[in-house]
Every structure is written in structure tokens, then in C-alpha cells.
Structure 1
Amino acid sequence: MKPSDSDMIMTSLQKAKVLSSQYGQNFTVFTGDLQRYRVAVNISWAYPEQFQDVILRLGGMHFLMSCVGSVGTLMANSGL
């Protein structure tokens, strides 16, 4: 399966929840690139009661690229 396949992400989220609970953590933090993040968000929206304790995060590089892109969009016609 491709790593971004929805079944693969669903299995990863479930396994991460099990591992987090085994180590006594109340929440599971799931970090991924933009494609995996989008799939994980769709899964968490489809099953909100099952993944209410999962915190989804966008990877650091993708977050930085998004911020820089938004600044570029805002400053596009400023002459800088």
C-alpha cells in the first residue's frame, strides 16, 4: 500500500493510540506531511468519537512553507 492510503493511515492512527495508552499518555500526537495530514484529518472527521484524543500536526517543513507562502501572497504586489 502507498503510505498515503486511507487504510494505511487509519491503521497507523489506531496503532499510535494503542501505543500511547500503553505508555500512559492521554493524547496521541500524529505528525505528517501535507498529504498524510489531509488524509488523517478526513479520517478524524469521519470518526470523531474514535479519534477525539488524537492531535494532528503538520510537519515542520510543510508548516514553514505554508507560512512563507502566505507572506509571499500578501506581499506579492508591494514592490519588495
Structure 2
Amino acid sequence: MFEKGALEYDSNRTPTLTLTRSGAQAPETVAVEPGDGYSREYDYFISCLQHRQAPQRITPASARQSIEIALAEAQSMTSRKKICL
């Protein structure tokens, strides 16, 4: 348990997301929009294109960084060595 509580996500359970606050007897349900994260990101990006707006949540720089981290994880797993970014 962290300082103020803990979030737990389980896609095989309903509710999928719960919050247990420090000292609480039972977890609270956290509302989650329908669908999955991938489809919501896709819908957001399409909306940005349709409205001719630059993405604010999913920037090319953050996407590049995510790919760089994932590739470093794969390299570390294969080489069994620490990869510094």
C-alpha cells in the first residue's frame, strides 16, 4: 500500500479498477469509460485529424519515447544486461 492508497486493475474482474485508500475497510469502484485504451487513443487521434488539431495527449515525442523504452526492454531481456537510456 502506498502512502495514501492503492489502485488495482484487473480486466478479468468487474469492476476492473478499484481504489483502496489507506485505512479503508473495502475498496472503492473507480469509473472506467467503456472500450479499451487502444480504441480510445485511436478515436482521439482521428478526432484530432478531423478537427485539424495537434494531439495534446499522444504526442509524436511521447510515442517515440514509448517505443524507445519498449525496444530497450526487449534488448535487455535478450542480452540479460542493463540498458541505459
Scaled by the length of structure 1, the TM-score of the pair is 0.32
Q: Which has the higher contact order (CA 8 A, sep 6+)?
A: 1
Q: Tell me the TM-score normalized by structure 2.
A: 0.31
Q: Which has the larger radius of gyration?
A: 2
